[in-house]
């Protein structure tokens, strides 16, 4: 795989990547699309006196229910795979504040830029996010070429990569794993579940995302995120490759 | 007692909830025991509060829980349903019928009805009981700390693993009782992935319903969606067009292919046979990408919908998929044959983690794990549905019940699934990809069985007087099979655990729900 020096792998034409909201959006006045959204990702807003919508990609399940319902074709899911961001506000697409994740601050980059060891904790998701993280270790993706790999012990890890909404039953194990990492440590939330609780937000059985338990440094949206989206996020974090 | 109190139905047939024979708890026990004795299986056994909602069924005092049992008669393609209202306790079935083991523990945990004399009565997922307010009980439920079985003795030691494991996998806790390297007993404690899906399914459908089903187990999105959609279609009398049936079949077999190929690669990895591990890792990805070619998502999210499929397959797309499929098939064949020809691999697979046919039958294994013990158990064949009523797939079995058998059954199934997908892609029926479902019938029930790649998926749904979901019970194949892994580990080397575990490759989230 030539990426990131060469072109990224071609994604299927029906892939749902970063949403785009066009100015034809009336803010939900026409189709009541807000009620269709399973996760509360579609949010009304006012920009310069005009009603429109924004999509919180940290909550979005990329199900296209809004796109399919819109009579004005105001919501479209593009093939753009780059979605990772460093703060929750940066995930609000259509709000004007969205931004891609910047590289870590210089000092941290010096520490992690050439070698980033990840301890993965699965905490109540559906295991699809885990599957797409695992894929990055296979020969085709081979994230080892960037010095990134999954390790068996939190003692060997620089970063915690969390998937799932953090169930009540996993809360303690997650906290203990976090505490076992040496400082400085990074926390990465992968998938709608880990960012916001996803499809299970509001359930009493879950905490509603990793940030409810530990501070998160990088958010990688999707349900699940495509492996390319995850890799892009990780590379952004360590400032590797020629990422636009 | 009535000689035959069961309501006999077919896989996916809609019936009146009030038509389910409501017998005494003693008669329920008696019926289950005699039927299982003569070859039936427990497909599902669960509690509901159906008796309380003042629907079509007789009113039940609030302290009672309606237990419903679904029995499967595989050689007659029939299901039998029976119900009884239980009060606080009843004599456990498990001592006479080990298949009931996990179900009775679940009923006890969810509904507080105690199976008296159950040999192993403890929570299976540490979920709050349905009878009390969830918010109250969550704060008092301790993090899962298994009160497990201990072996005593001077040289005995205990090994605890999890919930956080070494690899990128789901959480679960394993406790091994060992003497030297030999495992005498493995106790499996789950529940870490419990996120309350079954509870949240009640009183809907709504915008989240589809996502709940699609994420019951993310690697079985198509399998679980088929079970849900077939139930909805039955309740709404919706006809699924042949074209949709074919596309559903393609998606289901691609799901099986991706997972089986991935599993064979992982099994190779666990015995240090790197070529097959690496090849299969990539090929699994190619198969997931074939699903993504249909619907944009590698796991088939958003593809299956009540009434049919949400994405159509035109000629061009089908042809492009065919070309890819043939290339992948060739590579899979060479990667897998390489593994099965390697004596070093066979030496590790053969005889490891064997489960006898008798044990498999007793504990009610399903899917490839059951077929690897020689049991002819495959919903696609025994209770054929959808496309499988027209395109039959032979049941793949092997007799040795060990890791080799579980690998070899997968390999047979891979070959048949490739052939099936190829045939379907070549001859897609014309017509619409979906019909629009109407309103769900009220006061009805339906049970759907689907053969997921891990085995039998069973969804049971009942509607209330408004046509909303009054009860929803999901049985993932892992629910039947986790105990099989514990049995496979008996008298094995503890170092063989990863291999045995991978040979079952069970779902934590599908179990924990
Ligand atoms: S695609 Fe995202 S924003 Fe749109 S309805 Fe689905 S979850 Fe909501
Ligand atoms: S974010 Fe979506 S894909 Fe990931 S674990 Fe949660 S439900 Fe599964």
State the distance from the centre of ligand 2 to the C-alpha of A139, rounded, in angstroms. 24
Q: At what angle do helices B274-295 and B315-340 cross, to 10 degrees?
A: 170
Torsion of CA B487, B489, B491, B493, to 10 degrees: 180
Q: What average pLDDT does the segment B355-365 reach?
A: 96
User: CA A200 from chain center: how many Å?
Assistant: 16
B220 lines ligand 2 (CB under 6 A): no
Give the pLDDT band (50/70/90) at residue A104: low
Give me the pLDDT at residue A240, please. 75
d(CA B244, CA B252): 12
Q: B177: pLDDT confidence band, cut at 50, 70 and 90?
A: very high
Whether the link from the prior residue into A184 is cis, omega within 30° of 0, is yes
| The pLDDT value given to residue B56 | 40
Closest Cα partner for B71 from B132, B123, B9? B9
| Nearest one of B317, B316, B309 to B433, comparing CA atoms | B309
Q: Identify which of A16, A177, A224 has the shortest CB distance to residue B164.
A: A177
d(CA B184, CA B177): 6
The span from the first CA to the last CA of chain B, in angstroms, equals 36
Q: How many whole angstroms from B155 Cα to the centroid of ligand 2?
A: 44
Average pLDDT of B86-93?
Answer: 90
Whether residues B194 and A124 touch (CB distance < 8 A) is answered with yes
- pLDDT-based confidence at B129, cuts 50/70/90? low
pLDDT of B347 over the 80 cut: yes
Q: Report the half-sphere exposure of B224 (CA within 13 A, side-chain side).
A: 32
Please provide residue B139's backbone torsions phi and psi, each rounded to the nearest 5 degrees. -70, -20
pLDDT band per the 50, 70, 90 thresholds, residue A209 = very high
Rounded distance between C-alpha atoms, residue B463 and residue B466, angstroms: 8
Q: Is the pLDDT of residue B275 over 50?
A: yes
**Main-chain dihedrals φ then ψ at residue B430, nearest 5 degrees:** -75, 175
- Contact between A168 and B138 using a beta-carbon 8 Å cutoff: yes
Q: Give the model confidence (pLDDT) of A46-61 as tens digits.
A: 888 888 888 999 999 9
* Tokens describing residue B321: 């998929």
Mean pLDDT for the stretch of residues B280-308:
96
What's the gap in Å between B392 CA and the centre of ligand 2? 33
Q: Is B12 left (phi over 0), alpha (psi -120 to 50) or beta?
A: left
Ramachandran angles phi, psi of A202, nearest 5°: 90, -15
pLDDT beyond 70 at B456: yes
What tens digit of pLDDT does each residue of B370-382 get? 999 999 999 999 9
Mean pLDDT calculated for residue range A206-235: 94
Going by CA atoms, what residue is nearest to atom 2 of ligand 2?
A223
Q: Which atom number of ligand 2 is nearest to the Cα of residue A126?
A: 8
Per-residue pLDDT averaged across B333-346, rounded?
Answer: 96
Task: Give pLDDT tens digits for A25-82.
Answer: 888 777 678 789 999 999 888 888 888 888 999 999 999 999 998 888 888 999 999 9
Q: Kindly tell me if the per-residue pLDDT of A117 is higher than 90.
A: yes
Q: For residue A98, is pLDDT > 80?
A: no
What part of A 126-185 touches B (C-beta under 8 Å)? 126-135, 137-140, 150, 152-154, 164-165, 167-173, 177
**pLDDT confidence tier of residue B54, bands split at 50, 70 and 90:** very low
Could you give phi then psi for residue A212, rounded to 5 degrees? -70, -20
Could you tell me if B55 and B16 are in contact, meaning their C-beta atoms sit under 8 angstroms apart? Answer: no
Residue of B nearest to A201 (CA): B195
pLDDT of residue B403: 97
The distance of B286 to chain A (nearest Cα, Å) reads: 11
The overall average pLDDT reported for chain A is 89
Q: Which of A65, A168, A172, A224 to probe the B interface (max B CBs under 10 A)?
A: A168
Q: Which two tokens stand for residue A146?
A: 């960037």
Which has the closest alpha carbon to A210: A221, A195, A232?
A195
Q: 3-state SS string over B248-306?
A: HHHHHHHHHHHHHHHHHHHHHHHCCCHHHHHHHHHHHHHHHHHHHHHHCCCCCCCCEEC
Mean pLDDT, range B231-247, rounded to an integer: 96
B243 or A104, which is more confident = B243
DSSP assignment of B98-143 equals GGGHHHHHHHHHHH--EEET-TT---SS-PPPTTS-HHHHHHHSPP
Compute, in degrees rounded to 10, the torsion defined by CA atoms B395, B381, B81, B454: 50
Q: What is the mean pLDDT of residues B198-208?
A: 90
- The alpha carbon of residue B46 and the mean position of all alpha carbons in its chain are separated, in whole angstroms, by 15
Beta carbons of B55 and B17 less than 8 angstroms apart? yes
Q: Return the pLDDT at B204.
A: 83
Which residue minimizes the CA distance to atom 8 of ligand 1? Answer: A37
Distance, CA of A129 to CA of B420 (rounded, Å): 29
Give the lowest-confidence range in A128-132, A178-182, B140-144, B472-476. Answer: B140-144
Residue B424 has pLDDT above 50, yes or no: yes
The residue among A1 and B485 whose pLDDT is bigger is: B485
Antiparallel, parallel or unpaired: β B173-179 and B469-475: unpaired
Of B129-133, B339-343, B450-454, the least confident: B129-133
Distance from residue A38's CA to the centre of ligand 1 (Å): 7
Interface subset of A 1-40, CB within 8 angstroms of B: 11-16, 35-39
Greater model confidence, B135 or B353: B353
Mean pLDDT across B398-406 = 96
- Return the higher-pLDDT residue of B311 and A47: B311
Q: What is the mean predicted confidence (pLDDT) over A206-225?
A: 94
Task: State whether the beta carbon of A167 lies less than 6 angstroms from ligand 2.
Answer: no
- Ligand 1 atom with the smallest distance to the CA of A36 is 5
Cα B117 from Cα B120, distance rounded (Å): 9
- Contact list, B507 vs chain A (CB under 8 Å): 127
Do residues B369 and B481 make contact, with C-beta atoms less than 8 angstroms apart? Answer: yes
| Interchain CB distance below 8 Å, A14 and B215 | no
A164 lines ligand 2 (CB under 6 A): yes
Pick from A145-159, B51-65, B230-244: least confident: B51-65
Residue A26 tokens read as 């009336």
Residues whose CB falls within 8 Å of the CB of residue B343, separated by 6 or more in sequence, listed in order: none
Q: Which residues of B touch A169 (CB under 8 A)?
A: 125-126, 141, 143-144, 191-194
Centre of ligand 2 from the C-alpha of residue A192, in Å: 6
CA dist B350 and A102 (Å) reads 52
pLDDT mean over B13-24: 94
For B191-271, where are the alpha helices, taking DSSP H only? 197-201, 209-214, 221-235, 242-270
Cβ contact B317:B332 at 8 Å: no
Interval B146-164 mean pLDDT: 84
* A93 close to ligand 1 (CB < 6 Angstrom): no
- Note the pLDDT of residue B140: 37
Q: Higher pLDDT residue, B129 or B269?
A: B269
């Amino acid at each position: 795989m030539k990426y990131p020096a060469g072109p990224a792998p071609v994604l299927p034409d029906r892939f749902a990547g970063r949403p785009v909201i066009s100015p034809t959006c009336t803010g939900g006045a026409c189709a009541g699309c807000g009620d269709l959204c399973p996760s509360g990702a579609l949010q009304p807003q006012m920009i310069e006196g005009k009603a429109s919508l924004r999509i919180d990609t940290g909550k979005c399940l990329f199900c296209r229910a809004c796109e399919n319902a819109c009579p004005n074709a105001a919501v479209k899911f593009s093939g753009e795979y780059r979605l990772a961001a460093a703060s929750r506000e940066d995930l609000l697409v259509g709000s004007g504040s969205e931004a891609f994740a910047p590289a870590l601050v210089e000092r941290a980059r010096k520490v992690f830029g050439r070698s980033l060891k990840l301890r993965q904790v699965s905490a109540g998701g559906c295991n699809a996010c885990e599957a797409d993280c695992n894929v990055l270790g296979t020969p085709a993706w081979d994230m080892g070429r960037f010095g990134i790999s999954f390790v068996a012990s939190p003692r060997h890890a620089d970063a915690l990569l969390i998937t799932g909404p953090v169930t009540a039953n996993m809360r303690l194990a997650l906290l203990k794993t976090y505490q076992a990492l040496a400082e400085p440590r990074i926390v990465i939330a992968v998938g709608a579940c880990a960012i916001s609780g996803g499809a299970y937000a509001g359930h009493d059985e879950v905490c509603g995302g990793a940030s409810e338990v530990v501070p998160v440094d990088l958010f990688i949206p999707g349900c699940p995120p495509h492996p390319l989206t995850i890799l892009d996020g990780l590379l952004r974090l360590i400032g590797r490759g020629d990422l636009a | 007692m009535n000689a035959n109190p069961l309501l006999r139905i077919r896989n996916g047939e809609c019936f009146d909830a009030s038509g389910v024979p409501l017998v005494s708890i003693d008669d329920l026990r008696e019926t289950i025991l005699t039927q299982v004795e003569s070859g039936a299986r427990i497909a599902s056994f669960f509690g509901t509060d159906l008796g309380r909602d003042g629907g079509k069924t007789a009113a039940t005092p609030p302290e009672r829980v309606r237990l419903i049992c679904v029995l499967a008669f595989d050689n007659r393609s029939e299901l039998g349903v029976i119900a009884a209202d239980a009060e606080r306790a009843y004599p456990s079935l498990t001592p006479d019928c080990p298949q009931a083991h996990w179900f009775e523990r679940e009923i006890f945990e969810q509904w507080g009805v105690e199976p008296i004399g159950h040999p192993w009565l403890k929570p299976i997922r540490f979920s709050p009981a349905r009878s009390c307010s969830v918010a109250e009980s969550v704060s008092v439920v301790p993090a899962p700390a298994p009160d497990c079985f201990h072996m005593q003795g001077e040289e005995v030691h205990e090994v605890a693993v999890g919930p956080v494991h070494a690899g990128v996998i789901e959480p679960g806790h394993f406790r091994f009782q060992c003497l030297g390297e030999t495992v005498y007993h493995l106790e499996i404690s789950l529940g870490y992935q419990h996120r309350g899906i079954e509870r949240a399914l009640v009183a809907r459908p709504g915008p989240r319903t589809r996502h709940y089903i699609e994420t019951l187990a993310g690697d079985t999105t198509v399998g679980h969606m088929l079970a849900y959609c077939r139930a909805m279609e039955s309740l709404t009398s919706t006809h699924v067009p042949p074209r949709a049936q074919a596309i559903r079949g393609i998606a289901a077999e691609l799901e099986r292919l991706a997972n089986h190929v991935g599993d064979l690669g992982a099994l190779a990895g666990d015995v240090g046979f790197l070529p097959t591990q690496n090849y299969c890792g990539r090929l699994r990805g190619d198969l997931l990408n074939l699903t993504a070619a249909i619907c944009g998502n590698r796991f088939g999210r958003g593809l299956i919908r009540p009434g049919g499929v949400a994405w159509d397959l035109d000629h061009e797309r089908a042809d492009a998929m065919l070309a890819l499929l043939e290339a992948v098939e060739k590579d899979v064949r060479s990667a897998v044959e390489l593994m099965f020809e390697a004596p070093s691999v066979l030496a590790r697979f053969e005889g490891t983690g064997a489960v006898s046919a008798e044990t498999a039958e007793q504990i009610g294994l399903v899917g490839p794990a059951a077929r690897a013990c020689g049991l002819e158990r495959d919903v696609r064949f025994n209770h054929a549905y959808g496309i499988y009523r027209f395109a039959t797939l032979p049941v793949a079995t092997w007799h040795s019940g060990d890791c080799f058998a579980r690998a070899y059954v997968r390999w047979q199934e891979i070959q048949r699934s490739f052939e099936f997908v190829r045939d379907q892609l070549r001859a897609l029926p014309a017509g619409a990809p979906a019909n629009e479902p109407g309103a769900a019938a009220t006061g009805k029930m339906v049970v759907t069985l689907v053969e997921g790649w891990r085995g039998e998926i069973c969804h049971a749904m009942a509607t209330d007087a408004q046509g909303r979901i009054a009860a929803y019970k999901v049985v993932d194949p892992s629910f039947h099979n986790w105990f099989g892994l514990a049995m496979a580990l008996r008298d094995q080397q503890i170092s063989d655990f990863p291999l045995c575990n991978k040979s079952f490759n069970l779902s934590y989230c599908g179990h924990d729900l």
